Structure 1
Amino acid sequence: MIQDCLFCGIVAGTVPSVKVAEDDATYAFMDINPASEGHLLVVPKRHSTDLLEISADDLAAVTLAGQRIAKVAVRALGADGVNLLNCCGADAWQTVFHFHLHVIPRYVDKERDRLGMPWVPTPGDREAIAAAGATIAEALG
């Protein structure tokens, strides 16, 4: 547990939350700034700052918990879809620096769904795409 980490405090029970689910490795709770009806977060109980730091075991546990909860949330809330979202780094909209996975039920009814993403898919430069892919593939070995 990190002393000043909001999510560590939620996991420890010293900061209030609306708990949705818990297991040995993860804790899921409702987001207090929801993008849609039923928006919740899944966090590892062990602190890790972000996607680049989290252990493979904790990442797998959070992802599997997120999938399990998403299936139930979509059915129970009558959602039309769901987004699983992780933001890694301040420039990628991360605001709490304890790894977390957003489970965001999505609705056609915009009274239930306020999430707007800034990215609109448009074709990219094929040469730049190939160059970036080659750089990443080479770095992976």
Structure 2
Amino acid sequence: MPEFVDTSAVGSCIFCRLLAGEIPAARIYEDEQTLAFLDIGQVTPGHTLVIVKRHAETLFDLTADEAAAAMRTAHRVAQAIQATFQPAGLNLLQCNREAGWQTVGHFHIHVLPRHADDGVGLIWPRQEPGRDVLAERAALLREALAGQD
């Protein structure tokens, strides 16, 4: 797992510094709430990061409007990547907290063009807990969602 970069102090946040123009970036799109730029560590050609402009460490810290804005920008960037690089596929990757593989403590979405044999992997240890367990978990989540209203 990559090392987590603590950016709890906004002044030390690499993405906040990039937004402020203190760090150069290959910017490709910007609107009122988001910025998209090429990841300096290109996994595949066109690998882009979409960030929100307000410092928010994780998805849990975003407003619903910021989350929607980030996804709109990711969609727009994905369309541009498709037109430019014609990848065979595409992944959106958004990680939260160290256990979720987040490496920079500022919300971001990776828009990652995919090609056959590009070397990118994903371990997904599928589990099938059974219908009763799924029903219990679904009930808990419905209760949590109802509490958000």
Residue of structure 1 equivalent to 2:60: 52
TM-score, scaled relative to structure 2: 0.85
SS in 1 for 2:41: coil
Give distance in 2, aligned partners of 1:39 and 1:64.
Answer: 17
Give distance in 1, aligned partners of 2:19 and 2:122.
Answer: 29
Residue of structure 2 equivalent to 1:118: 123
Contact 1:36-1:114 at 8 Å conserved across structures: no
Give distance in 1, aligned partners of 2:121 and 2:19.
Answer: 29
- 1:21-67 alpha-carbon deviations (Å, 9 max, x no partner): 11121111111223322111000111111100011121111110110
Residue of structure 1 equivalent to 2:98: 90
% identical aligned pairs: 37
Mind listing any 5+ residue stretches in structure 2 that lack a counterpart?
A: 1-8
C-alpha RMSD over aligned residues? 1.6
The AA in structure 2 aligned to 1:117 is L
Query: Which 4+ stretches in 1 moved above 3 angstroms?
Result: none
Residue of structure 2 equivalent to 1:131: 136
Give distance in 2, aligned partners of 1:37 and 1:118.
Answer: 23
Give distance in 1, aligned partners of 2:123 and 2:45.
Answer: 20
SS in 2 for 1:24: coil
Residue 119 of structure 1: how far off its partner (Å): 1.0
Range with greater deviation from structure 2 (36-45 or 122-131) = 122-131
Residue of structure 1 equivalent to 2:79: 71
Give distance in 2, aligned partners of 1:83 and 1:42.
Answer: 13
TM-score, scaled relative to structure 1: 0.89
Give distance in 1, aligned partners of 2:145 and 2:66.
Answer: 22
| Count of residues in Structure 1 that have an aligned counterpart in Structure 2 | 137
Mind listing any 5+ residue stretches in structure 1 that lack a counterpart?
A: none
Residue 43 (1) aligns with residue 47 (2): no
